[in-house]
Chains A and B, each alone.
Chain A
């Protein structure tokens, strides 16, 4: 009983000082993202498969605008693929703490419509992960549009 009370007290104390490492979600407001496309250039543009978008001078501000304009909570925990389009900096995606380390990274010569990609990319098992990107690897598979749809080149 004493142990339980001590554990509860410690938990409340951590929560009071904002040190609780667990962040609760309101699940009904979540907008799960499966694919994120990043386009660079003068402005960075982010698009997700569920219709969210954000633009900004750099990646963090584009992400902040994407989150602010979302009708709920943009949830990147389910994001399975990041597509780096022309001008996109790989380091930006690699340093995004919202993306999971095993998120697959692809490159594309032009910005694809993100809504078309989840089903196609879920079939790709190999390729470069965000963790490998963080560790310095740069050999991401390429997405090429063909008559039959999107083709992935370079994935194992």
Chain B
């Protein structure tokens, strides 16, 4: 007992929140240890300390013997109280109930979807999924990942719907992962999708429980990480990233139209600045004469060539977006207004920029915001800049070459062994663009 206590206390020698208490009992004394802040003081007093001092039994749903000080230390970090007596050590769960309750999603706003977004607590998140998917087929396999700061990771899947090979692959990746911790979302994404040489997302994250559950129903593998208010689903492909769960809440025609609009927005966000540069610099004959005359008139007095204008505006747009992200919400909006409206208008009036370039870059930016996946929008931002450079170097030929390179790159990507362009490389393009009608059996009301 003395050795156990000494080892345990040595481990927490520098911890100010480590509490040690000697409790007199009718049969002698026991030592109790816990971490202040991780345990519920009321429960600790009522169900552990008081029964011990009165010679009664500890009342806790989870009470397990502790074989060694290392295990004991880990349990203390999980919100357990360790009771050390002459006969051995026990740990009992008295976790603090101070947790964030599920709230409406902040980033992925929804009109018709569920308003219970994921929180930072794994168990709450898994409970939310269970409450949405009351199915006996739902599997929830847990692994501890991280050598320095172990984190619980849950792999969720629906038996009979998911690809067992993919599920095994995810579990294997987690088991063989050699990382110190999974503290940041980036670490999780890198760990699950592998070290990737692409800007395109190879897994999808969401804070919305309905989106996560829909992915599980679609046969994907879900991953929840303790401490992160997000759920990851994989594999993904381009069509998945272009879908929004809101599509299923709309009628067939409206949903299909919106989905096709999103693809148009994707093309515009990627190609519009590059096409503008190519046509302005190398192929002005592609622009209708009246429009060309109007552009020429607006360009009079502007000191920069079209290429520099567009590239400068693209970079300014990225800077504004970055500034808006890092500032508090209220100031972020002010920055957007000042940057977008005031500076933009002033630059046009001062003939530093031409209105056409400003309109093109703004339109491309707005189209980028139409994409349902933020990760995909980020990848589009990177490639947009690259395609713009290609257009500046070789006009429409350069732009076409860049677009082909992008297509080749996308065709070479895989997510858990599934091709990234899967719905387009098989003859399922129609289903990617148009939301399919539900089966007759689902449509007919009883």
Contact = CB atoms under 8 A, between A and B. Distances in A.
Interface of A: 11, 22-28, 30, 32, 34, 75, 77-78, 80, 100
B86 interface: no
A18 to B, nearest CB: 16
B299 interface: yes
B306 A27 contact: yes
Nearest to B386: A4
Interface in B276-323: 280-285, 289, 292-293, 295-296, 299-300, 302, 305-306
The DSSP consensus for interface residues of chain B is helix
A78 B289 contact: yes
Interface stretch (B125-133, B216-224, B340-348, B393-401): B393-401
A2 to B, nearest CB: 12
Interface residues of B, number: 21
Given A11-B394, A22-B398, A28-B299, 4 more contacts: A11-B393, A25-B282, A77-B285, A78-B292
Interface of B: 280-285, 289, 292-293, 295-296, 299-300, 302, 305-306, 393-395, 397-398
A22 B299 contact: no
B293 A24 contact: no
B284 A30 contact: yes
Given A11-B393, A11-B394, A22-B394, A27 B289 contact: no
Given A22-B394, A22-B395, A78-B289, A28 B300 contact: yes
Contacts of A22: 282, 394-395, 397-398
Nearest to B288: A78
18 contacts: A23-B282, A25-B280, A25-B282, A25-B284, A26-B305, A27-B280, A27-B284, A27-B296, A27-B306, A28-B300, A28-B302, A30-B284, A30-B292, A30-B296, A32-B292, A32-B293, A77-B283, A77-B285
A27 B299 contact: yes
A101 to B, nearest CB: 12
A32 B299 CA distance: 14
A58 B282 CA distance: 29
A152 B18 CA distance: 98
Nearest to B283: A77
Question: A26, A28, A34, A77 — which one has the most chain B CB atoms within 10 A of its CB?
Answer: A28
Contacts of A27: 280-281, 284, 295-296, 299, 306
A78 B294 CA distance: 14
B250 to A, nearest CB: 42
Nearest to A24: B281
A43 to B, nearest CB: 29
A78 B284 CA distance: 8
Contacts of A100: 285
B90 to A, nearest CB: 58
Question: B283, B393, B398 — which one has the most chain A CB atoms within 10 A of its CB?
Answer: B393
B400 to A, nearest CB: 12
A71 to B, nearest CB: 12
B211 to A, nearest CB: 35
A123 to B, nearest CB: 14
B296 A32 contact: yes
B403 to A, nearest CB: 14
Sorted from nearest, which 6 A-B pairs have the closest CB atoms?
A: A77-B285, A28-B299, A78-B289, A27-B280, A24-B281, A22-B395
Contacts of B306: 27
Contacts of B397: 22
Contacts of B295: 27
B397 to A, nearest CB: 7
A77 B300 CA distance: 20
A154 B395 CA distance: 38
Contacts of B283: 77
A64 B280 CA distance: 24
B282 A75 contact: no
A63 B285 CA distance: 19
Contacts of A75: 284-285
A56 B397 CA distance: 36
